[in-house]
Structure 1
Amino acid sequence: MNDTPAAPAAPQTPSDRTRWEAFAVCAAVAALTIMDLSKINVGLPTIEHSLSGGPTELQLIVAGYALAFGLALVPAGRLGDIHSRKAMFVIGLSSFILASLLCAVAPTIEVLVIGRILQGVAAGIQMPQVLGLIQQLFQGRERGQAFGLFGAIIGLSTAIGPTLGGLLIALGGEADGWRLLFWMNLPLGILALIFAVRLLPSHQQHERRHTELDLVGILLLGAGVFGLMLPFVLTTGGPDDDPKRWFWLVLFVIAAVAFVIWERRYLARGKSPVVDFGLFRLGSYRNGILIATAYFAATPAIFLLTTLYVQQGLGLAAVFAGMISIPFALVSAWTSWIGGRHVHRLGRKLVLFGLALVFVGFVLALPVAAYSPPELVPWLLAVCMGVAGAGGGFVISPNQTLTLTDVPVVQGGVAGSVAQVGQRAGTAIGVAVASSTYFATLYRENGLHDRIEVYSDAFRNGLLVALGLVLVALVFGLLDLRQPQAARR
């Protein structure tokens, strides 16, 4: 493999048009992947009735996707770094299309769960390549602008997903409209695949060290992530939850300790580990991961709680339930773009300001659910979403830029993968804890109060859990802000 700077110079300096075309492909596929995580929320009630799914199966449809996503991220990111990000991108996207087809035709709830897990694996293969390619294509302030635009697109995708899901369910009918959520991935995925083959760069820089794949490290890391996320994935808040599921955390502890020991010895032998712990000495990288993990534990959970509350508690149709998140989508897209332009000047202060706005926006939802007339609740929740969305745009893309700012380009894929593992683990844990709190309240108060009051209490309790996670992100941001600049770099 040629490591001299002169040989790869031409492929590493493509024209502006070529770079932004490749960026468009990456952003489009990332949007399709993330949208698949958020649009499924409004489909859960119809899936429950159509395929007779219970709380465990519905939890697996949402959190199982995140679990599989997290397991695939690091090995896929490592393979992309040492071999070809374009090839891994194509493999991941092709697998995502096939898994979506399986979900669309699923005859039983068990087949749908399997399809969703396979979708998560495919998404975990392609997402590290997206982050690695953006690292590869852009440098300096231009990278901040690219991540700002990327964050705007991801924010739109996350928040517009429920609206799109509701429209597709209305179009397809209550019985099988949820299948359109997966059928739509086929034409869009195939179109993206064609452009990916044509436009993504085939050449990239590689590490000068050994580039063999650390299979033992990957297996230990996978076991640790699995042991951490599984008990939360299996948590529904219902009376049938098995307390023995928490014993999986023992696997997490053992695998994590073994992983650290193995990776250090592997590096001492002059080989390239799956995760270079030297990355965590970069304060910008370490602190960015902590903030993102807490943030992504909170916000997807809040979207899910809101959808469940207005559909189950207020009887709102799926299409209207999804529309509540539109203000978040529009405002966060705008502030993501602004944040990308100013992150180099304002740094972590911008992220901290965004987290404060997110907290305020979602806190306002508490009195709305408790005291507002039911017919006004969806409208007022949409206003709260707009306030939170203003903050969300200042969090996601600026934090992504700051997290990867000091990471070498040759490690961009695996560095982005580790950050994504934190986000996916956070999502699985946050969704599990908040939704189980929601359902536990329903089980506990069923028949004791007015129906709407019971659902309002469930929404409030779940939201308080999620707000606690936003506060954790705020604490991490404050701690980072108090460090000297040299310590953060």
Structure 2
Amino acid sequence: MSAAHTPSTVDAAENRRRWQAVGVGLVAAFMTLLDVSIVNVAVPSIDKALHATPSDLQWVLSGYALTFGLALVPAGRFGDARGRRNAFVFGIALFTVTSALAGLATSPTWLVAARLLQGAAAGVVNPQVIGLIQELFRGPERARPFGLLGATIGISTAVGPLLGGLLIAIGGEEHGWRWVFFVNVPVGILALILGWRLLPGRPEGKSTQRRLDPVGVLLLGVGVVLILLPLVQEQQWHTPWKWALIPAGLVVLVGFGLWERSYGRHHEPLFDLRLFTFQSYTLGSLIALIYFGGFTAIFFIFTLYLQNGLGYSALISGLAITPFALGSAASAILGGRIVNRFGRPLVGIGLLAVVIGLAAVVVALRLAPDAPTPWVTAGPLLVAGLGSGLVIAPNQTLTLAQVPVPQAGSGAGMLQTGQRIGAAAGIAAVGSMFFSSLADSHGDWTAAFEGALILATGIVVLALIAALIDILRTRDHAKN
């Protein structure tokens, strides 16, 4: 399948085949991103079944995110160099096997090890999906598949607690948590078969001997781990020295940048730093990093508030987040279609809607403190979800618009690495405020939730400011 076709030269059969390939990629992306949030509601059941320590449970949740972020850029580079189908099929196979192993776990150590490998597999799969869209579509026609990918990201993140609650309700308190992992197995097998059949192989004439820059892989990996570790272990590591790992990680990342610049003079680097000369890529990556810091933390604290604070079941807690998921899905598809017409201002409108919706959640809880929380928050969360759909998909389209296809995988991997770091930092900061407020207020869950939600909203405001800077700079440039 040639990647050089334009909409006018793509015949019906080839167009159908590329959409089938993207469909397989979206299913895989949904499955891997779902596992970021679906396990949250299973933690109480895992605790009872395996007698896990708080540290074990933290690693079950955060270990996945750690190895996910670690694998993204190297896996994207591997897909660029050796073909996306090979990397995709390997990642899906590993994800399917490790999901089964997680479901069969008989000890916390077993489960943590399976989750670490499962996260690495997810990190292999996801850059291939974005790179596939970059490879099969050109220019404005990328907007629609990126819109669908944005909807997939939004839905998978928000619907995880709902699906987890359903599976636990069906499987029972003792074994329901295992089905949170087992559900991936049949989907993974199907994606594996269809991925091998439908995804394009390595383009003809493309060298299989391109170097994979092992020094760059090592430096980037060490830097990402040093930054993510204190964030994902924020509740378990009580020493203040843990924060020294973050500046150490930044130093290593500076070393990574220097190495890539030197290595890139004679070989193809792991990540081409020249991508940051594109304003669209730099600003879009910054917006994504900040937004995921506020966006992901919302579901973390809301699930804790509903289940542990107010006593709602895992299923009801999941249903309460559904308005956000539905709004995000609807607007992401729309945003993907109209982003080429409106550009970055569309992202700004989406961020503003998210801020308004989250602020309205706080107002609603204060105006109706005795009403059922899922009902009171449904409308504001729908507004926030509608805004979120106008952020993720359009921002992704704009960020990757100028990235050359040969760097699509590594460029997408770096973008997603920023999202993982942002999500971990946001959960650490917002979660820390949530738990400290809970302790200071002697168990006032509503006050703790409202304070943490205000902080999450403030993080989204920072993303809005970054978007406004980009909008104003673009407008000034157009005038000149």
TM-score range, shorter chain: over 0.9
1:456-479, Cα deviation, whole Å (9 max, x unpaired) = 122122212211210111111011
Cα distance in structure 1, aligned partners of 2:63 and 2:476: 40
Letter of the aligned partner of 1:362 in structure 2? L
Alpha-carbon distance, 1:251 to partner: 2.7
Letter of the aligned partner of 1:259 in structure 2? F
Contact 1:63/1:432, CA 8 A, preserved across alignment:
no
1:362-373 alignment, distance < 5 Å = 362-373=358-369
Alignment CA distance shift 1:142-1:308 (3 Å): same
Of 437, 458, 482 in structure 1, the residue corresponding to residue 472 of structure 2 is 482
SS in 1 for 2:311: coil
Where do 4+ consecutive residues of structure 1 move more than 4 Å?
6-14, 205-210, 485-488
Cα distance in structure 2, aligned partners of 1:107 and 1:251: 37
1:43-97, Cα deviation, whole Å (9 max, x unpaired) = 1222233333344333322222111111100110001101111000001001101
Of 454, 457, 472 in structure 2, the residue corresponding to residue 464 of structure 1 is 454
Cα distance in structure 2, aligned partners of 1:312 and 1:368: 20
Cα distance in structure 1, aligned partners of 2:5 and 2:297: 45
Determine whether 1:384 maps to 2:380: yes
Cα distance in structure 2, aligned partners of 1:417 and 1:262: 18
Alignment CA distance shift 1:24-1:469 (3 Å): same
Letter of the aligned partner of 1:419 in structure 2? L
SS in 1 for 2:173: coil
1:429-465, Cα deviation, whole Å (9 max, x unpaired) = 111221222222333333xxxx5xx111221222122
Alignment CA distance shift 1:315-1:281 (3 Å): same
Contact 2:217/2:270, CA 8 A, preserved across alignment:
yes
Q: In the alignment, which residue of structure 2 is the partner of 1:109?
A: 108
TM-score (norm 2): 0.94
More displaced, 139-148 or 340-349?
139-148
SS in 2 for 1:364: helix
Cα distance in structure 2, aligned partners of 1:103 and 1:72: 19
Contact 2:3/2:136, CA 8 A, preserved across alignment:
no
Q: In the alignment, which residue of structure 2 is the partner of 1:253?
A: 250
1:388-427 alignment, distance < 5 Å = 388-427=384-423
Contact 2:357/2:380, CA 8 A, preserved across alignment:
yes
Alignment CA distance shift 1:256-1:274 (3 Å): same
Gaps of 5+ in 1: 1-5
Determine whether 1:291 maps to 2:287: yes
SS in 1 for 2:211: coil
Letter of the aligned partner of 2:406 in structure 1? V
SS in 2 for 1:30: helix
Alignment CA distance shift 1:24-1:209 (3 Å): closer
Q: In the alignment, which residue of structure 2 is the partner of 1:197?
A: 196
Contact 2:170/2:176, CA 8 A, preserved across alignment:
yes
1:123-142 alignment, distance < 5 Å = 123-142=122-141
Q: In the alignment, which residue of structure 2 is the partner of 1:233?
A: 232
Q: In the alignment, which residue of structure 1 is the partner of 2:23?
A: 24
Alignment CA distance shift 1:486-1:402 (3 Å): farther
Alignment CA distance shift 1:350-1:206 (3 Å): farther
Q: In the alignment, which residue of structure 2 is the partner of 1:65?
A: 64
SS in 2 for 1:57: helix
TM-score (norm 1): 0.92
Cα distance in structure 2, aligned partners of 1:156 and 1:174: 25
Cα distance in structure 2, aligned partners of 1:206 and 1:179: 45
Letter of the aligned partner of 1:86 in structure 2? R
Alignment CA distance shift 1:325-1:229 (3 Å): same
Contact 1:32/1:157, CA 8 A, preserved across alignment:
yes
Alpha-carbon distance, 1:227 to partner: 0.8
Letter of the aligned partner of 2:275 in structure 1? L
Contact 2:81/2:208, CA 8 A, preserved across alignment:
no
Alpha-carbon distance, 1:296 to partner: 0.9
SS in 2 for 1:203: coil
Contact 1:314/1:374, CA 8 A, preserved across alignment:
no
Alpha-carbon distance, 1:272 to partner: 1.1
More displaced, 111-120 or 333-342?
111-120
Gaps of 5+ in 2: none
Cα distance in structure 2, aligned partners of 1:362 and 1:204: 46
Contact 2:82/2:202, CA 8 A, preserved across alignment:
no
Of 222, 239, 242 in structure 2, the residue corresponding to residue 242 of structure 1 is 239
Cα distance in structure 2, aligned partners of 1:389 and 1:81: 33
Determine whether 1:353 maps to 2:343: no
Letter of the aligned partner of 1:473 in structure 2? A
Contact 1:81/1:206, CA 8 A, preserved across alignment:
no
Q: In the alignment, which residue of structure 2 is the partner of 1:120?
A: 119
Alpha-carbon distance, 1:23 to partner: 0.7
Alpha-carbon distance, 1:374 to partner: 4.4
Alpha-carbon distance, 1:485 to partner: 5.8
Determine whether 1:216 maps to 2:215: yes
Contact 2:148/2:333, CA 8 A, preserved across alignment:
yes
SS in 2 for 1:60: helix
1:307-337, Cα deviation, whole Å (9 max, x unpaired) = 1100001100101100011111111111111
Alignment CA distance shift 1:57-1:441 (3 Å): farther
Alignment CA distance shift 1:324-1:8 (3 Å): closer
Contact 2:3/2:137, CA 8 A, preserved across alignment:
no
1:212-250, Cα deviation, whole Å (9 max, x unpaired) = 1111111001111111111111101x7x62222122124
Alpha-carbon distance, 1:372 to partner: 2.7
1:336-374, Cα deviation, whole Å (9 max, x unpaired) = 111111101100000000000011111112233445334
1:390-432, Cα deviation, whole Å (9 max, x unpaired) = 1011001100100011111111111100000000111111112
Cα distance in structure 1, aligned partners of 2:229 and 2:470: 30
Alpha-carbon distance, 1:254 to partner: 2.6
Alignment CA distance shift 1:393-1:10 (3 Å): closer
Cα distance in structure 2, aligned partners of 1:409 and 1:486: 29
Cα distance in structure 1, aligned partners of 2:211 and 2:90: 20
Letter of the aligned partner of 2:291 in structure 1? Y
SS in 2 for 1:213: coil
Q: In the alignment, which residue of structure 2 is the partner of 1:175?
A: 174
Cα distance in structure 2, aligned partners of 1:217 and 1:255: 11
Alignment CA distance shift 1:186-1:486 (3 Å): farther
For the aligned residues, what is the CA RMSD?
2.3
Contact 1:57/1:109, CA 8 A, preserved across alignment:
yes
SS in 1 for 2:264: helix
Alpha-carbon distance, 1:154 to partner: 2.5
Cα distance in structure 2, aligned partners of 1:462 and 1:408: 40
